[in-house]
Structure formats: C-alpha cells, structure tokens
Amino acid sequence: MAGGDDLKLLGTWPSPYAIRVKLALAHKGLSYEYAEEDLANTSELLLSSNPVHKKIPALIHNGVAVCESNIIVEYIDEAFAGPSILPADPYERAIARFWAAYVDDKLFGAWATMLFSGKTEEEKLEGKNALFAALETLEGALAECSDGKDFFGGHTVGLVDMALGSHLSWLKATEVMAGEEILRSDRTQLLAAWMARFSELYAAKAALPDVDRMAKMRQERLAAAAAAA
C-alpha cells in the first residue's frame, strides 16, 4: 500500500454498508485490515471510533476514524489515488449522491419491510410492492445516468453502482428464500444486465458475501424466532 497508510475497517460481514466500503477499497486497489464486529457486544474500538452513532462501518485511517458508509466512500475517493468514484462535474456529483440516497431510503427500506420489519403479511406485501417500484425507478435512473454505457457511473463504476451493488447479495438471497426473481429481465432489463456485469467485477468478487450463506443465516434467524415465540 503506497504512502505507508494504515487502514482498518470495522464492520459485519452481511452489512451492505460495510460491503459498500469494501467495494470502494477494492475499487481503489487498497490493502486494509478488517475487523468483524459483534453487534451484541460492541468493541471499545468501535465505540471510540463512532461515539455518536456507535455503529458500523467505521474506517480508521492512520489512527483517525471516518464513519457512515457513503461518507467513507467519498473520503476514500478524495484521499487516495486510483479510479474515481464520484464524477468531476458538480452537477453529476449531486445526481450521484441523490440516487445513492434513494437506494438507502427507498430500496433498502422497502426490502427491509418485506424481509425483516413487516409484522403482517399485508405489511410484507406492501414492502415487496415498494421494492419493485423502487427497482423500476432505478431502471430509469440507470438509463439516464449511464447514457447507454455499462454502469451508473458510465464506463466505470461510481457511487450509485457501489450503493446499489452493496445490496446485491441480499437481493439474490431474497430470491433464494422467496423463490421469486427480484431483478426481472422483463421488468428491469437494464438493471438485470447491470447486475450481471457488476457481479463479474474484481471489486464485487472481493467484497460481496456468498448468497447461500446469507440465505442460510436469515433462515436460521427465522427458525430461532419461531421457536422462541
């Protein structure tokens, strides 16, 4: 690693927000130490690194911590040489930030309702419908932002690619558990093709968790919750 930089990432393996940081680090070709956190027994290092929110991810660079996934990704882009993550144009940067926030607010929120927080079948169905609506909106965003190229960032991946890409393993695991295609080629043709391209990237292969492992973890938690009820 050039310049003697010391990088340590605090995260949990299934967290899309920690995955997002891993994607950015791999995109820049950076070496780093990874520390898996136990959220039931938060480490003193995490508490001191993120004393306000007390949550992952946190990136420690030469002894100082940066928190919140999108902020960390932008920090990595500014602090290290290598392929850019955000565009140089101020308007295009603003658009990228808008869609990255949309992924977290709308897509992730709907997915979480469908799979985790929905208490009734009706609430879970509402979450599922909202997820498909968010994906269709992102289909339009991809067409506009990519300008016919491979990624939201154009010829190379950018902030929006990393924001959405960090959720790919969970979306695929949801398909396994639900037995239903989420990124459907008949409804979101561009996104389905984007997912295939993104999944083949070195950064994605380095950062994305195994889909079967994620599905198994979720099924075990559901079984444990049912047994405790």
pLDDT digits (tens, 9 = 90+) for 2-28: 345 899 999 999 999 999 999 999 999
How large is the average pLDDT for residues 116-143?
93
Q: Based on the domain organization, do 100 and 122 belong to the same domain?
A: yes
Q: What angle do CA 73, 111, 126 make, to 5 degrees?
A: 145
Residue at which a domain ends, from 58, 79, 100: 79
Domain of 62, in residue numbers? 7-79
Location of structure tokens 């991946």:
157
Answer whether residue 115 shows pLDDT above 60.
Answer: yes
Q: Based on the domain organization, do 135 and 43 belong to the same domain?
A: no
Quote the tokens at residue 171.
Answer: 């979306």
CB atoms within 10 A of CB 129: 13
The per-residue pLDDT of the chain, averaged, comes to 93
Instruction: Let me know if residue 1 belongs to a domain.
Output: no
Q: Based on the domain organization, do 207 and 124 belong to the same domain?
A: yes
Q: Based on the domain organization, do 144 and 209 belong to the same domain?
A: yes
What confidence score (pLDDT) does residue 4 get? 55
Answer whether residue 122 shows pLDDT above 80.
Answer: yes
Please confirm whether the linkage preceding 57 is cis (ω < 30° from 0).
Answer: yes
Q: Based on the domain organization, do 154 and 94 belong to the same domain?
A: yes
Instruction: Let me know if residue 94 belongs to a domain.
Output: yes
How large is the average pLDDT for residues 208-214?
94
What confidence score (pLDDT) does residue 219 get? 84
Residue at which a domain ends, from 79, 104, 133: 79
First to last CA, the chain: 50
**CA 108 to each of CA 66, 153, 193, 225: distance values in angstroms, whole numbers, following the listed order:** 22, 20, 20, 22
How large is the average pLDDT for residues 104-108?
95
Answer whether residue 225 shows pLDDT above 80.
Answer: no
Range in 59-68, 94-103, 172-181 the model is least confident about: 172-181
Range in 32-41, 149-158, 159-168, 176-185 the model is least confident about: 176-185
Show contacts of 132-135: CB within 8 Å, 24+ apart: 132/187, 134/102, 134/106, 134/107, 134/110, 135/107, 135/182, 135/183, 135/187, 135/188, 135/191
What confidence score (pLDDT) does residue 179 get? 84
Q: Based on the domain organization, do 68 and 104 belong to the same domain?
A: no
Location of structure tokens 């398909």:
175
Answer whether residue 1 shows pLDDT above 50.
Answer: no
Name, in order, each residue with C-beta under 8 angstroms of 84's C-beta and a sequence gap of 6 or more.
Answer: 77, 156, 158
Please count the structural domains in the chain.
2
pLDDT band at 185 (very low <50, low <70, confident <90, very high): confident
Instruction: Let me know if residue 198 belongs to a domain.
Output: yes
Q: Based on the domain organization, do 65 and 112 belong to the same domain?
A: no
What confidence score (pLDDT) does residue 3 get? 40
How large is the average pLDDT for residues 149-160?
96
Instruction: Let me know if residue 188 belongs to a domain.
Output: yes
How large is the average pLDDT for residues 66-85?
97
Instruction: Let me know if residue 227 belongs to a domain.
Output: no
Instruction: Let me know if residue 226 belongs to a domain.
Output: no
